[in-house]
Amino acid sequence: MKHFFKIVYCIAILCIADTSYAQRKTAVKAKTTTVNAGLKLPTGFHASIIARDLGVARHMAVNSKGDIYVKMDRVKNSGGIIELSNPADNGIARKKTVFGEYGGTGIAIKNGYLYASSNSNIYRYKLNADEQVEDTGKAELIVSGLLDRGQHNSKSIALDNDGNIYVNIGAYSNSCQEHDRENGSKGMDPCPILDSAGGIWQFKADKQNQTYGDGVRYATGTRNVVGLDWNNEINSLFVMQHGRDQIGTMFPQFYEAKYADEIPAEEMFLVKKGMNFGWPYCYYDPMQNKKLLAPEYGGDGKQVGRCAEMEKPVVAFPAHMAPDGLLFYTGNMFPEKYKNGAFIAFHGSWNRNVTGQEGYFVAFVPFKDGKPSGKWEVFANGFAGVSKIESTGDAKYRPCGLAQAPDGSLYVSDDNKGNIWRITYKGK
């Protein structure tokens, strides 16, 4: 009898997994008719490649004149920051300067300064009246000594309107096991990593030489956040978390392989001071719409336990798609539907073991008054260049950074080869 219930449960779960997969497939097909520069876009949109083969191009910032600053992750052969000219004139962004001898991901412009991060420090450069870096050799060190142990080391940044800078300090671990990613190794409880990582830290944007002691752990329990953005409409921070890996391969006794590929969701969080999002103790199951106890902490795919108190996502996306860029669109070029909505660059998965890799696109979520007002949809697809991705290496390009130009067009960077796409709207 016990076995009978187990079988019924498995069948039920498979059905749920299947329908959610089918729903996603229909979302993927959202009236994409235009194909430009290799991308499938909604009707009326147009794409072109404005820069090619820059290297490992991560996040971007655009000044008021339309020049683009690209943060590079590998200094070798490319330099740390590349300044490109405004491509609006002839469709090509020319390399103007290369500076900043450190690899990293974060870059942003605020109040007359360009901020950029290495994997352990945050710097800033003064901008002149044309919003160009005055002296590329003169970087002010704002924050230093942030933890970098390789894994999840991107120090992505966002700034608010009150003189603060927010930085992701990712956990150097998958699920805080005694032995990271090892079969059968227990989760540490409490997880010691959370003291110095696995959260969002807040620092003063205009004070030099800060380190951990000067900052505030603004929110905790975020495993790794690469995309984050300040939403000016409701004056709040939003972040995209990368959910934990390998739940199915490490705990096949609790999760059927196909179901395991769909958990945990990649989560969008609205972040307020003091919030706890639950890593490493909890993960979000998008089929059950619940934060559940992680198997390293005694979970079995059903138990909730302490996770009842953890913050929920405002949007849950399919598992493992790796959201690396987040941007709230405030431009005037795109149709009304896009105003104040969120674009998310999905880098693309590598550990969806049986259902095949997913992501490698830019998604969109409509927002109203700071809340999602509709389902997420695929906005720009085709970066991978192939329809079926079995191994990550099959994908030609992988979306990472997003930025908005003064004219309202959208830039998407790829960190595989270093191409940058410009997406514009011209109407029907």
The smaller minimum CB distance to another protein, of residues 148 and 311, is found at 148
> 272-276 — which CB contacts under 8 Å span 24+ positions?
272/219, 272/236, 273/202, 273/216, 273/218, 273/219, 274/218, 274/219, 275/219, 275/220, 275/221, 275/311, 276/219, 276/220, 276/221, 276/309, 276/310, 276/311
Q: Using CB under 8 A, count the residues that bind another protein.
A: 27
Q: Are 420 and 411 in contact (CB under 8 A)?
A: yes
The whole-angstrom separation of Cα 325 and Cα 333 is 20
181 binds another protein (CB under 8 A): yes
The whole-angstrom separation of Cα 137 and Cα 368 is 42
- What are the backbone dihedrals phi and psi of residue 423, each rounded to the nearest 5 degrees, phi first? -115, 125
150 binds another protein (CB under 8 A): yes
120 binds another protein (CB under 8 A): no
3 binds another protein (CB under 8 A): no
The whole-angstrom separation of Cα 364 and Cα 168 is 22
- Please choose, out of 62-70, 85-93, 120-128, 349-357, the segment that lies near another protein by the rule CB under 8 A: 349-357
Return the residue of 25, 137, 369, 393 that touches another protein, per CB under 8 A: 393
The whole-angstrom separation of Cα 289 and Cα 417 is 37
Nearest approach, Cβ of residue 409 and another protein (Å): 27
Q: Which residues pair with 206 in a beta bridge?
A: none
Return the residue of 59, 152, 223, 244 that touches another protein, per CB under 8 A: 152
Nearest approach, Cβ of residue 417 and another protein (Å): 10
Q: Which residues pair with 423 in a beta bridge?
A: 47, 410
91 binds another protein (CB under 8 A): no
Nearest approach, Cβ of residue 179 and another protein (Å): 6
Nearest approach, Cβ of residue 57 and another protein (Å): 13
Nearest approach, Cβ of residue 135 and another protein (Å): 31
The whole-angstrom separation of Cα 209 and Cα 189 is 33
CB-based contacts of 87, cutoff 8 Å, min separation 6: 50, 51, 66, 68, 93, 422
For residue 214 the two structure tokens come to: 């000067």
The whole-angstrom separation of Cα 306 and Cα 292 is 9
Nearest approach, Cβ of residue 310 and another protein (Å): 26
77 binds another protein (CB under 8 A): no
The smaller minimum CB distance to another protein, of residues 280 and 341, is found at 280
Q: Whole-angstrom distance between the N-terminal and C-terminal Cα of the chain? A: 61
350 binds another protein (CB under 8 A): yes
Return the residue of 130, 178, 182, 214 that touches another protein, per CB under 8 A: 182
What ranges in 95-234 are assigned the alpha helix state H? none
422 binds another protein (CB under 8 A): no
137 binds another protein (CB under 8 A): no
56 binds another protein (CB under 8 A): yes
SS3 content of the chain, % helix, strand, coil (to 5): 15, 35, 50
Return the residue of 162, 336, 369, 390 that touches another protein, per CB under 8 A: 390
Binding mask 223-262 for another protein (x = CB under 8 A): ----------------------xx--x-------------
Nearest approach, Cβ of residue 389 and another protein (Å): 10
Tally Cβ neighbours within 10 Å of residue 137: 8
The smaller minimum CB distance to another protein, of residues 254 and 350, is found at 350
Which residues of this protein are in contact with another protein, per CB under 8 A?
56, 73, 150-153, 179-185, 245-246, 249, 350-351, 353, 390-394, 398, 415-416
